[in-house]
Structure 1
């Protein structure tokens, strides 16, 4: 898998500026995180991308349905789920 680089964001999703320049670095995990956290319509360049995972809070969605949704949205951005699945924790927190 090729290394992806982009502008890096801090924990508040603000662009990091270091020494007066935008900080650029490895961005794969950052991109995956954004795809999984956003809802469809939040990215102007691709309004269909966004796993809408917030919809699944307090639902009885199966692990296979959750995995299917994650795979679909990562694939839409050209990412191979099988190559990055070890970095993703799909276990749901039950209250």
Structure 2
């Protein structure tokens, strides 16, 4: 995709960015380079290649799913100002 200085000025106008001629030329070169890189990447044949979740073939080491702390539910609720049926009661915020 080829861009012109008018395209850069229009994009800058839409983005509400004040840009002078020198900056417009610099941005044009940068955008042209970015679009060239995108075209180069799109030219690569990726048919039959599965998407990857990670660039390296790594597997997370998972810890066993075991209870490591004692149940302190009743201890915590003993400090609460209001409890009913094992639930904390709080004041209504929205009426």
Q: TM-score, normalised by structure 2?
A: 0.25
Based on CA coordinates, which of the two structures has the bigger radius of gyration? 2
Q: Could you say which structure has the higher strand fraction?
A: 1
